Amino acid sequence: MSALVQTGRPTGGRASWATQTAEVCRRWTVDLVRQPWGLGVSVIQPVIWIVLFGNVFESIATVPGFGAGDYLTFLVPGILMMTVLYSGAWAGTGFIEDIRSGVMDRLLSSPVHRSSLVAGQLAQQLLMATVQGVIVLGIGWLAGARYDGGVLGLAVALVASLLLAAAFCSLSAAVALLARDQTALIGISTIIVLPATFLSTALMPVALLPDWVETVARYNPLTWATEIGRTAMSTDVDWGLVASRGALLTVLAAVVAAWSVQAMRTYQKSL
């Protein structure tokens, strides 16, 4: 029996960064799949939005100055971006749960790269965002939206949604690791997410927004992502807009992701 525990070192001490990140991602994916309620809600939410906003705001399309033809087709890219934003708000809750339960202590006292813990969880969030994005686009199509930009347009829109997701999930993770409190995280997320939705062009074309909202919306990452989605999914793609807004989102995602890795180190220093 005594040989069993001490038979050499079965593992060699530490896996590569990629293996660790993949393993962390796999763990969160299995966790997610085993919580059918969370999974169900994240799929049902965009369905409700498309039906609700599609019907309530339908008449906007008849207002002079709306510009686009059909409100639903206009709405779907906005809902796509809103979906990843609202899901991303919860990204940090897993870290808080790990801190509370003791899993984080075990991981941090083992030879795991701190950045793998953050990157692996982000990778899982992006996988989920991709699945959600495909579902949103599918539901939109079933409801009557049409995507003139073809497969390329849809792909560009999805990539934009992933950049937005990366930025917001990282923000949620960083806040979670610094605040370490579920209530604070959800409170902060709610305070950011809801105004961000209405201070953007996700639901309303820029021409119909009040001046000050229009000004704010111009600096809102949700607007950047929505603009990319809308133009990429139209017949007349403005690639300049895709490039400039894409660059802004990429820089934002990189900066916030780096901050979330820093937040993991700050967390450990506070112990």
- Footprint of other proteins on this chain (CB under 8 A)? 1-2, 4-15, 19-20, 23-24, 26-27, 30-31, 34-35, 99-103, 105-112, 180, 268-271
Min. distance of Cβ 104 from other proteins in angstroms? 9
- Give the up-direction half-sphere exposure of residue 166: CA atoms within 13 A in the CB hemisphere: 24
Nearer to other proteins by Cβ, of 127 and 241: the residue is 127
CA distance 104 to 191: 27
Measured CA distances, 221 to 194, 216, 242 (Å) = 13, 10, 13
How many beta carbons lie within 10 A of that of residue 84, not counting itself?
A: 32
Closest CA to 229 of 153, 157, 138: 157
Nearer to other proteins by Cβ, of 211 and 269: the residue is 269
Min. distance of Cβ 32 from other proteins in angstroms? 9
Measured CA distances, 129 to 11, 46, 83, 86, 159 (Å) = 33, 12, 8, 10, 10
Closest CA to 73 of 242, 209, 207, 234: 234
Nearer to other proteins by Cβ, of 15 and 208: the residue is 15
Nearer to other proteins by Cβ, of 180 and 218: the residue is 180
CB neighbour list of residue 128: distance below 8 Å, 6 or more residues apart: 32, 42, 87
Nearer to other proteins by Cβ, of 220 and 260: the residue is 260
Min. distance of Cβ 46 from other proteins in angstroms? 25
Min. distance of Cβ 179 from other proteins in angstroms? 10
Nearer to other proteins by Cβ, of 9 and 210: the residue is 9
CA distance 78 to 202: 4
- For the record, the structure tokens of 263 come out as 């937040």
Nearer to other proteins by Cβ, of 146 and 265: the residue is 265
Min. distance of Cβ 111 from other proteins in angstroms? 4
Which pairs with CB-CB distance under 8 Å and at least 24 residues apart come from 56-61?
57/203, 57/204, 60/204, 60/205, 60/208
Min. distance of Cβ 16 from other proteins in angstroms? 8
Min. distance of Cβ 108 from other proteins in angstroms? 6
CA distance 47 to 135: 9
Q: Give the residue carrying structure tokens 């796999």.
A: 26
Min. distance of Cβ 131 from other proteins in angstroms? 19
Nearer to other proteins by Cβ, of 30 and 251: the residue is 30
